[in-house]
Structure 1
Amino acid sequence: MSTRTFRITVRGVFDGLTAEQRAALLADADAHDVLRAAFTTGGHLSYDIAARTAFTFRFADTGETDEDLLTAAARAEAAAEAWLTGRGYGFKNLRSQAEDLSQAPLGKRQRRGAAGAA
C-alpha cells in the first residue's frame, strides 16, 4: 500500500469572546491572515476577526486507507478544539471536511503534464 496525503479543513465560529480575547486575536491577526494559510501537520489557523468571527484550521495528514481519512479528520477536529479550549476561546459550529489528494481531480496543467509524459 502507498501513503496517501490528506488535507483536512476545520471551520467554526468564535463565540462569546471577551474584549481581551478579541484584542489578543486582533494583535496576532497578521500571523493568521488567510494569505498565509497553509496545510500543515500541526494545523494552521486563519481568521479575520475584524470582519467576522469565523475561523479555519488547515491540517495535513497521511494514511493508507479510506478509514485513515476519517481518523485524520477526527484527529484534526480534536486538535482544533484543544487549541481553542486551551486558550479559553469559546467556539461553535465546529465541522470538518477532509480530502484525499490521491482522489482529487487533476488540474489543467497537471493533465497537460500527464499527457506529455505518456
Structure 2
Amino acid sequence: MPVAYTKPHLSYQEQLKLLRSRGLEVNDEAAALRLLTSVGYYRLSAYVYPFRELLPMDERAVASPAHYRSESITAGTTFEQVDRLWQFDRKLRLLVLDVIETVEIGLRTKVAYILGA
C-alpha cells in the first residue's frame, strides 16, 4: 500500500525561510529565490547536503541505512557556497556530456561504416 505524502507545499519564500531556519546564511535573497525557482528545492537540497551537520554516532542510520546528517546546516554556510557547488556540478555535467557525445558519434560512425561494408 502506498505511503501518504505528508509534507506541505511551500512557496519559494517559505522554502528559503526553511533553509534559513536550518542555518543557511542568505546574503542575497533575490538571487536565492531566482535559483530556487529555476532549479527547485529538491534538486538544490542535494547541494546543501554536504554542508549539513553530521549526526552523533548513536543516531546514525536510525531512519534509514544512509541517514548520517541532521537537518541543521553547519554554521557559516552561505547560499552562495551552495550556488557555487551547483554551478560547478552543472559545468562538470556539461563537459562530461560533451565528451560522451563525441565518443557516441564516433562509435556509431564506425559501426555504421562496418555494417555498411
Please indicate the TM-score interval, normalised by the length of the shorter structure. under 0.3
| Greater relative CO, 1 or 2 (CA 8 Å, sep 6+) | 1
Greater share of residues in strand: 1
Greater share of residues in helix: 2
**TM-score between both structures, scaled by the size of structure 1:** 0.24
| Bigger Rg, structure 1 or 2 | 2
